[in-house]
Amino acid sequence: MQISTKGRYALRFLLDLCQRQDEGSISLKSIAERQDISKKYLERIISMLSSSGMLTVSRGYQGGYQLAKSPAEISIADVLRITEGGLAPVPDPENDSYMTIDIWKGLEDVITDYLEGITLQDVIDAHGPLVEYYI
């Protein structure tokens, strides 16, 4: 399984919000600048995260983004399912040979268990506050 830039940038975006959750709504422009990610690209990612209920959006002059849930409630698996469409190591294991299907399903279980066990809060706790993340 290879994680796309969409998944990696979504994690960077969310970790940036986690670090600044006491500041209220955070502007897209400030996050894009800090993370060195195009605003236009982040807008596509934000659309996915917002529709999943992971973000709250404030419009207007003082608008911006906040997490809709606690960082301890958002696993890395949650983020990657939204941005990558799933955690399967092969696109459609059901269409693979009956002899190898158990291999791919077993690998997916290992990946899922690992990523479900890591939350955004775990990453923040492991690295301390206000560190720039490059995932």
Q: CATH no. for residue 30?
A: 1.10.10.10
| Dihedral over alpha carbons 125, 131, 134, 135 (to 10 degrees) | 10
Please list the pLDDT of the chain residue by residue as tens digits (135 residues).
Answer: 789 999 999 999 999 999 998 999 999 999 999 999 999 999 999 999 999 999 999 888 888 999 999 999 999 999 999 999 999 888 876 777 778 888 988 999 999 999 999 999 999 999 865 645 455
Contacts of 10 (CB under 8 A, 6+ apart): 45, 48, 49, 79, 82, 83
pLDDT digits (tens, 9 = 90+) for 72-99: 999 999 999 999 999 988 887 677 777 8
- Report how many domains make up the chain: 1
Q: Is residue 106 part of a domain?
A: no
Please give the residue range of the domain that contains residue 14. Answer: 5-86+119-127
For residue 96, tell me if it sits in a domain.
no
Q: Which helix (H) or strand (E) holds 51?
A: helix 39-51
Angle at the Cα of 125 (from 74 to 68), degrees rounded to 5? 30
Which residues share a beta bridge with 55? Answer: 67
